[in-house]
Amino acid sequence: MDHFVYRDGRLCAEDVSLIRIAEETGTPFYCYSQATIERHYRVFADAFADVDATVCYAVKANSNIAVIGVLARLGAGADVVSGGELKRALTAGIPASRIVFSGIGKTGEELAAALDAGILQINVESEPELELLGQVAADKGVSAPVAIRINPGIDALTHDKIATGKAENKFGIEWTRAHRVYCRAMTMPGIDIVGIAVHIGSQVTDLEPFREAYVRTRDLAALLRADGIAIRRLDLGGGLGIPYGDEPAPSPGEYAAVVKSAIGDLDCHLILEPGRVIAGNAGILVTSVLYVKEGATRRFVVVDAAMNDLMRPALYNAFHGIATVMETPAKTECKEVDVVGPICETGDTFATGRPLPPLKAGDLLAIRAAGAYGAVMSSVYNTRPLVPEVLVRGGDFALVRERLSVDDMLSREVIPNWLKT
Ligand code: LLP
């Protein structure tokens, strides 16, 4: 469910015509709907309202500080994976007491920043990280609230590049070895063990892997408690998938039912880290048609957005719906086209064999479900400036990230002296 709908034949974000935004900002641009973000957050949070839980939005999905700010006002916490994301979350108004720090390669500086900010929890993913954190915390004379992330050895049945819970994945500590690591952590002065963390992958649309991972987590919690280790918090990660096309995806309510039945009556505080399910369908990438080109065997629609702006199709062969901003009249004959960007790689393709109505230069297209892992993963490949982001609320819209200019990019580069003569 989102708030991108046709009104008077034009695609709008809430009450604002995308044509109007395009006239002001130029294309390409990302457009987010605040009402959609709010709705997704509320549906997710409501599904856990009857248990002791904190919803920590996974900032990596869309880290624009305006987007985080929308969620902060609703009482969300944040899951961050870098010192930069920590700063974003704090800047956007998420209280430190609701921030969790995940990730397998935190630096000493990042750990120190997290301790200085006084965040809720640091999820430790390896023994060397535990040792470093213990040292950094002891040097500061504080105790770090720690959950150990376990690798439950479970296939999330998602794209290989975003599965994180299999034994061969780099994440977490193999669950059968976790007991030993907890015992070591209990002896460390700078470490305060508070719980267990698990995250099996992203865009997970089958609830069974979640159930298995959570049952395994519950069993480990019971084992650790039996040894006197006070497990009081379970961080169950994110990963709930969304529909990108017509395929079904479980609702937050169905996911919550699995969590509650798997975790049962452990009497733990739960942390959930949803990212995509909050931001994914709340954003689109609007792009203009540059050319329609007849190839030897295919028809290409060349648009002004490219794989550097939205990497998901190139990186994961991901499907994204593509809609014309002008509503297509009924009975218009659609033809299959490849929608491609200007970058000099064949992989710079948003869609292959996609039925679309006749298009011409200047027509606007909306690439759907681009609110999560869209702008955040963009790059400046081919010296293409990062595109603007716009947030809509009702009939208002605001530019929440300006378009980078080529001069901005060049101003950070330096010609060394030996090339100046
Ligand atoms: N928690 C942890 C520890 C994570 O690693 C992630 C995502 C999340 C929560 C949020 O997962 P979500 O609810 O958004 O599925 N770039 C990829 C997705 C990478 C996900 C990385 N970790 C994509 O475009 O599909």
Annotated active-site positions, please? 344
* Contact 162 CB / ligand 1 (< 6 Å): yes
Is the Cβ atom of 238 under 6 angstroms away from ligand 1?
yes
Q: Which atom, in ligand 1's list, is nearest to the CA of 164? A: 5
* Residue at token pair 């549906």: 43
How far does residue 316's CA lie from ligand 1's centre (Å)?
13
Domain final position from 272, 306, 331: 272
* Residue of 60, 102, 204, 315 to mutate, ligand 1, most atoms within 8 A of C-beta: 60
Strands 99-101 and 77-80: parallel
Dist. CA 75–CA 38, nearest whole Å: 11
DSSP SS3 for 290:
strand
Q: Are residues 134 and 261 in the same domain?
A: yes
Q: Do 180 and 117 belong to one domain?
A: yes
Question: Strands across the sheet with 16-17, in order?
Answer: 4-7, 10-13, 16-17
Ligand 1 centroid distance, CA of 202 (Å): 5
CB 185, CB 227: distance < 8 Å: no
312 pocket-lining for ligand 1 (C-beta < 6 Å): yes
Are 303 and 257 contained in the same domain? no
| 294 and 172 together in one domain | no
Q: Is the CB of 61 under 6 A from ligand 1?
A: yes
Among residues 84, 77, 82, 73, which one has the least CA distance to residue 34? 73
Domain count, the chain: 2
Gap between the Cα atoms of 58 and 269, Å rounded: 18
Choosing from 68, 159, 259, 276 the residue with most ligand 1 atoms within 8 A of its CB, the one to mutate for a pocket test is: 276
Q: Is 378 in the pocket of ligand 1 (CB under 6 A)?
A: no
- Centroid of ligand 1 to alpha carbon of 332 (angstroms): 39
Whether the CB of 280 sits within 6 Å of ligand 1? no
Q: Specify the pLDDT at position 421.
A: 83
DSSP 8-class letter at 418: G
Distance CA 194, CA 143 (A): 11
Q: Residue 15 is inside which H or E element, if any?
A: none
Q: How far is the CA of 371 from the centre of ligand 1 (A)?
A: 13
Of 272, 295, 316, at which residue does a domain stop? 272
Stretch 260-264: mean pLDDT, rounded?
A: 92
Residue 168 belongs to domain spanning: 103-272
Q: Which residues contact 227 (CB under 8 A, 6 or more apart)?
A: 179, 182, 183
Q: Are residues 126 and 219 in the same domain?
A: yes
**pLDDT at position 64 over 90:** yes
Contacts of 311 (CB under 8 A, 6+ apart): 373, 377, 378, 379
Average pLDDT, rounded, for the chain: 96
β strands within 40-180, DSSP E: 53-58, 77-80, 99-101, 121-124, 144-151, 173-174
Q: Using pLDDT thresholds of 50, 70 and 90, give the confidence band for residue 52.
A: very high
pLDDT band at 264 (very low <50, low <70, confident <90, very high): confident
31 and 283 in contact (C-beta within 8 Å)? yes
Closest atom of ligand 1 relative to the 61 alpha carbon: 14
Q: Write phi, then psi, for 372 (nearest 5 degrees).
A: -115, 135
Cα(239) to centroid of ligand 1, in Å? Answer: 6
Query: Per residue in 120-160, pLDDT tens?
Result: 999 999 999 999 999 999 999 999 999 999 999 998 889 88
Contact 282, 32 (CB under 8 A): yes
Q: Assess whether the C-beta atom of 79 lies below 6 angstroms from ligand 1.
A: yes
Instruction: For residue 378, report the phi and psi dihedrals to the nearest 5 degrees.
Output: -75, 160
ω into residue 28 within 30 of 0, thus cis?
Answer: yes
pTM of the model: 0.97
User: Does 56 map to a domain?
Assistant: no
Is 69 a pocket residue for ligand 1 (Cβ < 6 Å)? no
Q: At 126, which CATH number? A: 3.20.20.10
Whether residue 288 sits in one domain with residue 264: no
pLDDT of residue 89: 98
Ligand 1 contacts CB of residue 203 (under 6 A): yes
The reply to whether 202 and 109 lie within a common domain is yes
Model pLDDT for residues 79-90, shown as the tens digit of each residue: 999 999 999 999
Query: How many separate helices (H) and strands (E) can be counted in the chain?
Result: 12, 21
Tell me: the pLDDT tens digits for 2-39?
A: 899 999 999 999 999 999 999 999 999 999 999 999 99
Distance 372 CA to ligand 1 centre (A): 9
Q: Is 112 in the pocket of ligand 1 (CB under 6 A)?
A: no
* 280 CA distance to ligand 1 middle (Å): 11
Gap between the Cα atoms of 161 and 43, Å rounded: 28
Q: Are residues 177 and 249 in the same domain?
A: yes
Query: Can you read off the two tokens belonging to residue 331?
Result: 């009975």
Taking the CA of residue 315 as reference, the ligand 1 atom at the shortest distance is 24
CATH number at residue 390: 2.40.37.10
Q: Does 95 map to a domain?
A: no
315 in the same domain as 223: no
The amino acid present at 103, given as its one-letter code, is: G
Nearest atom (ligand 1) to Cα of 203: 15
**What average pLDDT does range 298-310 have in this prediction?**
98
- 342, part of any domain: yes
Burial of 81 from C-beta contacts in 10 A (0-12 / 13-18 / 19+): buried
Of 92, 67, 91, 79, the C-alpha closest to 120 is: 79
**Residue showing tokens 């609007």:** 286
Q: Are residues 312 and 230 in the same domain?
A: no
Strand partners, 322: 367
Considering the domain architecture, whether residues 267 and 184 belong to the same structural domain is answered as yes
| Token pair of 252 as six digits | 């937050």
